[in-house]
Amino acid sequence: MADHGDESMTEDDLFAEHKRQRKDLQAQTQKLKRSVPKGDKKKKKEVTEEIAKLEAELDQKQEQELAAFQQKQKTETTVKSLENLKTDDPPEEGEDDAPFDKVKKPSKAQKRRDKKAAQAREREERIREQEEENVFVARNVETAKIKKLLAERGLQIKEIASDGNCLYNAVAHQLSLKGIEASNEGLRQQTAEYMQNHEVEFIPFLTKENGDCYSHEDFVQYCKSLATTTAWGGQVEIQALSKVLKMSIEVVQAEGPSVQIGEENEGNPLIIIYHRHMYGLGEHYNSVQEKTDEEDEDGFS
């Protein structure tokens, strides 16, 4: 955890740490939800109350840390302003040349600088708050559309933890509905091996952040990370999974029609959900299951 007393820590560092804490809490609440036996309303209520308590405690803790950090910044700004009075600004016209060991009133130039800095901080805070609100609104709108699409097919969302393994765990859940046992680790290994053995088929669809194409060495490292880390999976990996499993995979999304991958394979497809706005940290995959009366407003099933 970040040391909030570290003088080198910035406000962006603190927000990043808070985002990491919320991601950890998200994973923890998912585990708690999955621990509830189906139909056990008493346990479900206890878990719901515990989750609410954990979220409230984290909110309070982060608010206190942010307030303390902002107060520290304010104090440091005041001290620097007083120091600048002694070194930066010549006396304003008509001002007495008071000894430097006496505190002067802020000069007009310093007031302008302080006002400009305060306006910049306020503008950044408004932008950050708006971005958080946009993510929340977009997520709710997207989830409502997906729930409607699934309900029309007698299905509902099956939540998958947002730990980097969501694609593989969603596919593993779909396989379990067909009586096939699979694990995240096994699916990752199979996917990586298939891609590495069919490099020409997949490498054209992978590019670096700067837009450059992958080299053979880049591709080998990509497959190694896929097999051994929690690297997020996307459409390239879904294509490989379809080949490995010899099954079609349907990807349901809020915007546009479902994407069908591996349609040449016979049998009912595996169905997973693509969420573009599920979490502030980025994209996410969930699974589906038959609709029951146990689903609540949050999709807790």
223 noted as active-site residue: no
Angle ∠(15,72,26) on CA atoms, nearest 5: 25
- CB count within 10 Å of CB 101 equals 6
β-bridge partners, 271: 250
The secondary element (H helix, E strand) that includes residue 272 is: strand 270-279
Please write down the long-range contacts of 290-293, taking CB distance under 8 Å and 24 or more positions apart: 290/154, 290/155, 290/156, 291/150, 291/151, 291/154, 291/155, 291/156, 292/156
Q: Is the separation of the CB atoms in 254 and 138 below 8 Å?
A: no
Active site residue 284: yes
Looking up tokens 């779909």 gives 174
Taking the C-alpha atoms of residue 255 and residue 145, their distance in angstroms, rounded to an integer, is 8
Q: Which of 13, 89, 114, 163 is catalytic?
A: 163
Q: Please give the Cα distance from 174 to 26 (Å, whole number).
A: 22
Please identify which of the residues 166, 173, 223, 277 carries the catalytic annotation: 166
Q: How distant is the alpha carbon of residue 105 from its chain centre?
A: 47
Annotated catalytic residue, options 173, 275, 277, 284: 284
Measured distance CA(289)–CA(291) in Å, rounded? 6
- Contacts of residue 277, defined as CB under 8 A and 6 or more positions apart, other chains included, come to 135, 138, 139, 142
Q: Give the residue numbers marked as catalytic.
A: 163, 166, 284
